[in-house]
Amino acid sequence: MPAFNPRLTGLSCFSCGTVHDHRIVQGVCRVCGLPLRVDYDISAGDLPLSKLPPRVASLWRYREVLPIATGEVTLGEGWTPLVPAGDGVWIKDEARNPTGSFKARGMTAAVSAAVALGARAVVAPSAGNAAGALAAYGAAAHLPVTVVMPEDTPRGCIEECRLYGATVHLVPGTIADAGRWLHENGPPDAVDVSTLKEPYRIEGKKTMAYELYEQLGGELPDVIVYPTGGGTGLVGMWKAFGEMRALGWLDDGAPLPRMVSVQAAGCAPVVRGFESGAERTEPWANATTHAYGLRVPSPIGGFLCLRAIRETGGTACAVPESEIGPAVRRVAAATGVDVCPEAGAAWVALEGLRSRGWIRPSDRVVLFNTGTGLKYR
């Protein structure tokens, strides 16, 4: 049975700061309706690097800063490789995770917390990969799973969920429509683990930053290029940077990686918010892209993505749909990594930023491949 980390002091709203009790199931802030943050009592020396090498090579090696202390629901997620891609660029290949995407990181934490809180079932809307991960971790935890996806979700993602025994509902439209369907029709006694509508998925995703620090010899890259839909991974790594400072891994004045949020031109609410100087994103009408993980027209954590980009001196890029497919084939042929369309979009952005001089020849760059390309074929 999963048990909570004694260092976990509670939950607080990312926006208004309202404190919430982590000992009961929580969704979004009860005051303002925005995402909750998991808070820990940590200080320098609580997670010394000297302790880490003998530990298991999974994200749970960082359990001092994760919500669950023991008994987690795990399939061996995390510690994915950095694959050299030439000219100071590495691809962090999240396709090596269970179920073939970075979504496994969030679901190991979210499902573990749900079990610790006594959940009898779990549900979520998804653009594809999150549904597969939830189905797998729900199966491992012996919990019934219901997922709702757009009807044009890649068939591989749909059949994956059914393979793990999940109940699958397909609806017209985008993930926003799937979320509305779930709110109106989902099982009433289930714990909803939608992106940033529960506090724990971000905790699993933030471990990508901890891994980068270890894999790069106690340093972080100069630039992180990240395909952004709901933005949990981007926000999670930004949260991790603050924790690393508290742990003594980073000096207070040390520069942080410049975070690049990449979206498709047919659905780019974060890019539009960044370019307009807004503090929050606005819903994107008629969202279209075949990089399905980027087709999130109304990210609840959009304001956090904007904050992370600006506080790290980063930027946001929207790439043309026509350039994504050729980039996927170009990267795969050059590196041997079967990247997903979302990573193809990130590669297009990287090329553009380099040609404009925003990414310098001396910069060390990590680009995230968030999932396997196999599910799209």
- Residue with tokens 């529960």, as numbered in its chain: 198
> What is the predicted pLDDT for the residue at 21?
96
Determine contact, residues 103/59, Cβ cutoff 8 Å. Answer: no
Do the domain assignments include residue 134? yes
- Residues 219, 308: one domain? yes
Q: If you average pLDDT over residues 207-222, what whole number do you get?
A: 97
Do the domain assignments include residue 179? yes
pLDDT digits (tens, 9 = 90+) for 316-336: 999 999 999 999 999 999 999
pLDDT digits (tens, 9 = 90+) for 116-149: 999 999 999 998 899 999 999 999 999 999 999 9
Q: How does residue 297 score in pLDDT terms, banded at 50, 70 and 90?
A: very high
Full domain range(s) for residue 64:
3-70
- Residues 167, 206: one domain? no
> What is the predicted pLDDT for the residue at 127?
86
Do the domain assignments include residue 251? yes
- Residues 165, 289: one domain? no
Determine contact, residues 339/367, Cβ cutoff 8 Å. Answer: no
In this model, does residue 253 exceed pLDDT 90? no
| Boundary residue ending a domain (165, 192, 219) | 192
Q: What are phi and psi of 37, to 5 degrees?
A: -110, 140
**Percentage of residues of the chain with pLDDT beyond 90:** 95
User: Can you count the helices (H) and strands (E) in the chain?
Assistant: 11, 15
Burial code of 331-367, b = ≥16 C-beta within 10 A, e = fewer? beeebebbbbbbbbbbbbbbeebbeeebbeeebebbb
Give, to the nearest 10 degrees, the angle between helix 232-247 and helix 207-215: 60
- Residues 186, 223: one domain? no
| Boundary residue ending a domain (137, 165, 192) | 192
- Residues 277, 329: one domain? yes
Do the domain assignments include residue 61? yes
CA atoms 35, 40, 45, 50: torsion sign: negative
- Residues 256, 144: one domain? no
Please provide the average confidence, as pLDDT, over all residues in the chain. 96
Do the domain assignments include residue 75? no
Determine contact, residues 333/360, Cβ cutoff 8 Å. Answer: no
Determine contact, residues 46/247, Cβ cutoff 8 Å. Answer: yes
- Residues 269, 361: one domain? yes
Do the domain assignments include residue 32? yes
Do the domain assignments include residue 295? yes
pLDDT digits (tens, 9 = 90+) for 16-36: 999 999 999 999 999 999 999
- Residues 208, 330: one domain? yes
| Boundary residue ending a domain (157, 192, 227) | 192
H or E element in which residue 366 lies: strand 365-369
Q: If you average pLDDT over residues 101-107, what whole number do you get?
A: 97
- Residues 34, 183: one domain? no
Angstrom distance (rounded) from CA 262 to CA 100: 20
Q: If you average pLDDT over residues 280-287, what whole number do you get?
A: 96
Q: What total of structural domains would you count in the chain?
A: 3
- Residue with tokens 């918010």, as numbered in its chain: 273
**How far is CA 362 from its chain centroid?**
27
pLDDT digits (tens, 9 = 90+) for 80-95: 999 999 999 999 999 9
pLDDT digits (tens, 9 = 90+) for 333-352: 999 999 999 999 999 999 99
Burial code of 49-59, b = ≥16 C-beta within 10 A, e = fewer? eeeeeeeeebb
- Residue with tokens 């439209």, as numbered in its chain: 173
> What is the predicted pLDDT for the residue at 377?
82
CATH number of the domain at 163, please.
3.40.50.1100
Query: What pTM does this model have?
Result: 0.95
Determine contact, residues 146/161, Cβ cutoff 8 Å. Answer: no
In this model, does residue 59 exceed pLDDT 90? yes
- Residues 330, 182: one domain? no
- Residues 41, 138: one domain? no
- Residues 250, 225: one domain? yes
Do the domain assignments include residue 167? yes
